[in-house]
Structure 1
Amino acid sequence: MGIKGLAKFVGDHGEILTDYRFRNSKVVIDGCNIYHSLYLTSCVDQQHGGEYDAFQDQVCKFFKALRDCSIEPYVIIDGGSDHTDKKFETVRKRAESKIDTANKLSKGLRGAWLIPTLARQVFKEVLSSLKVPFAQALSEADQEIASLAQKWKCPVLSNDNDFYIFDIQAGFLPMSHFKWQNASVQRWSPENYIPCKLYTTTSFCRLVNINRQLLPVFGVIAGNDYVNLDKMGFPIRWKDNSPMEPNWKRGEIPERFPSSLLLKWLTSFQEKQEALDNVHLLIGHGENNMDAALQALSQGIETYQIQPGCLERFFNDGEAPDPGLLPDHLSVLPDWTLLPLTKGTLPPYMIYILQLRPVIQGIQVEDHSLPSGNITSRPIRQVFYGLLLGEGREVEEYDREGKNLTSSKVKAILPSAAQLLQLDTLDQVLRLEVFLVTVGVSQSIFKGLPPQLGLPVAVTYYWLRHAHPRPDRPLLQALLLGLVAANDSSPSCVSGFIEEGLVLERMRGLIQRPAMSPDLGVAHVFSQWNRCMRDGLYLNQLLCLPLPEPQCACPAATQLIQPSVVSLLESRLYKGTLVHQLVDQLRGGVTPDSLLMEDPSSVQLYRTTGQPDGPSTDSGAGGRRGC
């Protein structure tokens, strides 16, 4: 996430950031950064696999605040990543850190942060429900975000401190200073605004007395996600090896900043090339190849040069990026994938697969003495890989093994239904057949189910057969009860509020404050279900949705954007603390029918999801089939 200490340095110096009343403007939003921020600031539980209803509520309130102030948001989400894999080491280190974080959360430790498996999917579906324009970039989003903001002469909203380096004309709004919850709002007033801080490169460079052209040089020498001279064997050495504060143009600043000496050094130059021609004086003391370091620096500087983007025509006209204008490394993408990838209806990690690059699997709270939950859904991914690459090719996956990150080769598998056909020519019947064969179910399981429950129930059948340890009856019952309650008679909109169904309201009434640390056995099995759901969703998307996607947001959610409406959205996929504590209730002797309040439609739907030829598990007390 950019340069260490830079965001704090900027925040500590009031003359860099300007108080700003933001309204009546477009804004380009760094989608991945913002959904991470909204999830982590919504104060929801992070130990039970996801609290998506509270997250959706937070997302909806955020975009309502923007529209109340006549702010037009355009969200861009990361798609692929750096095709040269210069950032891979950074990504790998982050995955290792997430393993440590997940381990701490599993022990009940607070202050650790982890985004749950389906947060990205939920975020995209809420954006769609609220009719917020968004696009999924075909590579990292930073360049597209900066390019679109420059084109439209509007600011960028993010917490990524790389945007302190991009020379964006209309500036950068750090999310940490964006007080959307304190918006000044009066009904129908054109003067509503969100109090925030505005950053411009001009204000920063005025303080530190360097030319704006030198900011990218500062960014790459200081070290970002792409270039780390110290790890390359080129640590910076100053002549006297002593710490020193820069003599700032506007007076001496006492606070420490790791890159203060570098900023002082850059005051001696006017042009980028002049600084690069002298960088050997800082790093030329080693025995390593100086040419390699200079090449890395030059390439790193290019990442901060704002280039023409390819998303403006998508936002304006709904058209896919022009294949002829895409960089060479994206030529592996078939033309038919470009529009659905940009619309976010195809999973972005297929770009990694087609580029034959390694894939790092997500990390969640689970029992680290057991194999990773991602192994449970590996057969689904193997079919995903086979559809993209063909039979027998291998994909390198990085995943948790114990408390370490290790790699393995996963072989692609192509189902017989798709053996002789290209993915874009498969008809709808064959697409559905490929999905059903992969998860091992027949169409009969959908009888009596609402369309939006078909995919979750099919995935649950798969999970029940592949999960290890094998889920017991209360685990399955809790999961199915959660799905049924979330689909309870379609929540209604009354006086501007989206009201929960009575069954879900009843279940919530049974839930006490969650324990400090989760039951790891329960957490591990539900973690496996989340991975199966994620990979099932991705396979369904790659097959162009032979099954309807499960609803993550209430259909009435579009009403929530009106000024008079208070937002409350309801997750329909998974409610972590709810299903965990339903397990406790069921193991304590409470029956599913009583939890469903004997509501006939809910009881019938619950029994349909647990029909005898559907999910079943043996109980330790009798081994009956069904639920």
Structure 2
Amino acid sequence: MTAVPCYRCKTWHFLKCVKAIVLWFVSGLDQNHGGEYAAYRTVIETFIAALRSCDITPYVVLDGGSAHFKAQTAVERATDRIHRKHQASQSGEQSSILPKLAQVVFIQTLARLQVPVAQCIAEADQEIAALASEWCCPVLSNDSDFFVFDLPAGFLPISHFLWREVRQSGSQSSISCWSYCTSSFCSFFGLRRQLLPTFAALAGNDYVKLRRIDWTRFIQAGTGTEACSRLEGLLCWLKGLQESREPLEVLEEALGLMGDLSGDKQELLQNLRLGMEEYQLGRSTSDLQQEHETAPRLTGSHLQVDRGLNCEYPPSANQTSRPLRQVMYGLLLGKDKFSPVEFDRAGLSLISVPVEPTFTRTSQRLRLDSLPQVALSDRLNVLLEALGVTQESLRLLPPELQLPAAVSCYWLQTAQPPPDLQRALLLGMSNMLRSRTGNCSWNPDQDVSHVFSQWQACLKDAIRLNQLLDLPLPEPDVSRLYQGTLVHQLVHRMRSGGKLKTVLRSDRPSEELYRSLLSVVQRIRVQRIRSRTRRTRQKAATRWQQNPQELSADLQRLFLQDEETESEARAAVAAQEELQLQEELLQVQTRYRTKERSNRSKNPELARKEECRGRDLL
């Protein structure tokens, strides 16, 4: 590896999304309160600004799904994330846990900054390496796989890319970094370059772990770590092979060191061959070459596993938004007899869950191939039907808040959060919370975290459904909707009776926006409660007609549910009436102040006398 103190280029520059999100971790942002998205947006903006100040044009390539033969590695990593999240929820320590909407904020920020973004269907490594070779430009990432690709302009490890320390020399700007190239590595260890992919496959990657081979026996006893000694031993073994050996022959000889493999040899050899081919640029051009001038259309990211929460192991937050994903599956798969499988959390275990595609009243007559030509009204109906709201109920809100408000209404019905949480959430969405820097010094309430995690899961999948339908509603700026530490602090103070002055900001536009959001959510909630009450009564009446002689236990439960629903409806109606009264009072005060200002402007002498009387009273 060579240190390059002043790296500057005017060529294309690559990032992988999952690696760029390392920006979250290296920036010290809070990880345990659900996301500091405004601060994260600022970090991304600063990073891109640093690149552009050095005439570096970034081109971002996002990962897709993993190959099926990497399934075991994916399961292991997902399980590890579940346990790390659970441990963090108990101790409050930072455990490299990425908030649910971080990737959405990353993509939205890049789009706003007009940074080209490409989405790969599968893993992006080969596409990035092929395009870097075609354009003769470096790759910036923290993925160790790029140490193996033979890249003409080298690989820049992001851990040694000092983008926060842009150097200025006259009119020239530069960033200190390390540049790595495979030729230097092979020369140092005496390894033939064509065997470098073979070395990577045998060293142990996502395809097969050759733990039964003791590579350290090929070197003299040293003081290095076990991992370094194993890799050094493998390099010594490869160096000692005859130069006439082809890569596939080397793989077969390596398997011979494992002894009798019985029927597993061919499967292991095939997996090793696949692993080796991952690092070879066999085709002459990249599939992304045609998108040189403009970024490929972003098709959305794959599902992520929800992590563990507290010692009682509540259900996965992803369950709350599963009905939204079922509507997406219906649009994507049609009415074929095929059920997708999701990976999710049950307790602290990773499980696979078959999920049936579903259809709304409108989506059942739509086809994916003709979806772009469908009328806007129909595409909007699919989205609103999935969320259980009407266009009329959202019309008083700014366009950019209609989708978050609809999601909040959906969340209230599916997650059933305590009422104070909905108010805290809406205060944050309406810009009523004072911005501040720094992390919370106290651990988050785990139940509160779970409820807000459900809301984020709903928003994330609603944004995906909205994208699939070609944006019938404007996509909201997620970085402005939720600031985890502030919302948690607000909930804590509301529940403990503490003062809210230091948390809430008071300005007329934000107050009015908050009241509008609360009014919409309360109104839809009342409508849904009354609709549920009618359905309960109809169901009870039908069963009573079928069996008038006997009031069954099931029917008694229905009447009990009816009473609970009615009580909930009365409480919601009371809250709505109180809100309407506050709105009317605010309108009266506004009219009075407007009239008072008008009178003052018409009679300055009267205004001066009133002011003097005021000073006398003081």
**TM-score over 0.5 for the pair:** yes
State the Cα distance separating 1:377 from its structure 2 match.
0.7
Greater RCO (CA < 8 Å, at least 6 residues apart): 1
- AA in 2 matched with 1:53: A
CA distance in 2, matches of 1:412, 1:367: 32
- AA in 1 matched with 2:365: L
State the Cα distance separating 1:104 from its structure 2 match.
1.3
Q: 2:300 aligns with which of 338, 344, 347?
A: 347
State the Cα distance separating 1:620 from its structure 2 match.
13
Partner of 1:279: 254
Cα pair 2:29 2:439 within 8 Å, conserved: no
> Superposition pairs for residues 229-268 of structure 1, below 5 Å?
229-230=210-211, 235-237=212-214, 243-245=217-219, 257=228, 258-268=230-240
- AA in 1 matched with 2:232: S
CA distance in 2, matches of 1:106, 1:457: 28
Task: Report whether the alignment pairs 1:17 with 2:2.
Answer: yes
Over 3 Å counting, the alpha-carbon distance change for 1:518 and 1:154 in structure 2 is same
State the Cα distance separating 1:516 from its structure 2 match.
3.4
- AA in 2 matched with 1:547: L
Task: Report whether the alignment pairs 1:362 with 2:306.
Answer: yes
Once structures 1 and 2 are overlaid, which stretch shifts more, 472-481 or 290-299? 290-299
Cα pair 2:186 2:193 within 8 Å, conserved: yes
Cα pair 1:28 1:145 within 8 Å, conserved: no
Number of aligned residue pairs: 524
- AA in 2 matched with 1:431: R
Partner of 1:458: 406
CA distance in 2, matches of 1:512, 1:207: 45
Q: 1:199 aligns with which of 171, 180, 201?
A: 180
Cα pair 1:95 1:405 within 8 Å, conserved: yes
C-alpha distance after superposition, 1:170-226 (max 9, x if no partner): 11000111111122135xx44311111110101111121101111100111111123
C-alpha distance after superposition, 1:132-184 (max 9, x if no partner): 12211222111111011101111100000000011111110001111111221
Q: 2:470 aligns with which of 509, 524, 544?
A: 544
- AA in 1 matched with 2:426: L
Over 3 Å counting, the alpha-carbon distance change for 1:367 and 1:382 in structure 2 is farther
Task: Report whether the alignment pairs 1:508 with 2:508.
Answer: no
> Superposition pairs for residues 524-535 of structure 1, below 5 Å?
524-535=450-461
Partner of 1:57: 42
DSSP 3-state at the match of 1:304: coil
Partner of 1:473: 419
CA distance in 1, matches of 2:313, 2:326: 25
Q: 1:371 aligns with which of 311, 315, 322?
A: 315
State the Cα distance separating 1:92 from its structure 2 match.
1.1
CA distance in 2, matches of 1:111, 1:215: 36
Cα pair 1:30 1:141 within 8 Å, conserved: no
DSSP 3-state at the match of 1:477: helix
C-alpha distance after superposition, 1:80-117 (max 9, x if no partner): 332xx011111111111111111111113424111111
State the Cα distance separating 1:441 from its structure 2 match.
0.4
State the Cα distance separating 1:253 from its structure 2 match.
8.7
- AA in 2 matched with 1:472: P
CA distance in 2, matches of 1:586, 1:237: 60
Cα pair 2:341 2:355 within 8 Å, conserved: yes
State the Cα distance separating 1:592 from its structure 2 match.
8.3
Over 3 Å counting, the alpha-carbon distance change for 1:291 and 1:398 in structure 2 is same
CA distance in 2, matches of 1:513, 1:525: 20
Once structures 1 and 2 are overlaid, which stretch shifts more, 174-183 or 287-296? 287-296
Q: Which has the higher helix share?
A: 2
> Superposition pairs for residues 188-337 of structure 1, below 5 Å?
189-230=170-211, 235-237=212-214, 243-245=217-219, 257=228, 258-269=230-241, 270=243, 271-306=246-281, 307=283, 308-316=285-293
CA distance in 2, matches of 1:25, 1:368: 54
| Cα RMSD after superposing both structures | 2.7
Task: Report whether the alignment pairs 1:445 with 2:399.
Answer: no
State the Cα distance separating 1:120 from its structure 2 match.
0.9
- AA in 1 matched with 2:136: K
- AA in 1 matched with 2:266: D
Partner of 2:104: 121
> Superposition pairs for residues 377-416 of structure 1, below 5 Å?
377-391=321-335, 393-416=338-361
DSSP 3-state at the match of 2:280: coil
DSSP 3-state at the match of 2:355: strand
State the Cα distance separating 1:295 from its structure 2 match.
1.6
- AA in 2 matched with 1:550: P
DSSP 3-state at the match of 2:167: coil
Cα pair 1:372 1:399 within 8 Å, conserved: yes
DSSP 3-state at the match of 1:179: coil
- AA in 2 matched with 1:610: L
Q: Which runs of 5+ in 2 are unaligned?
A: 530-566, 580-618
- AA in 2 matched with 1:546: P
Cα pair 1:49 1:116 within 8 Å, conserved: yes
State the Cα distance separating 1:243 from its structure 2 match.
4.0
Please identify the structure whose Cα radius of gyration is greater.
Answer: 2
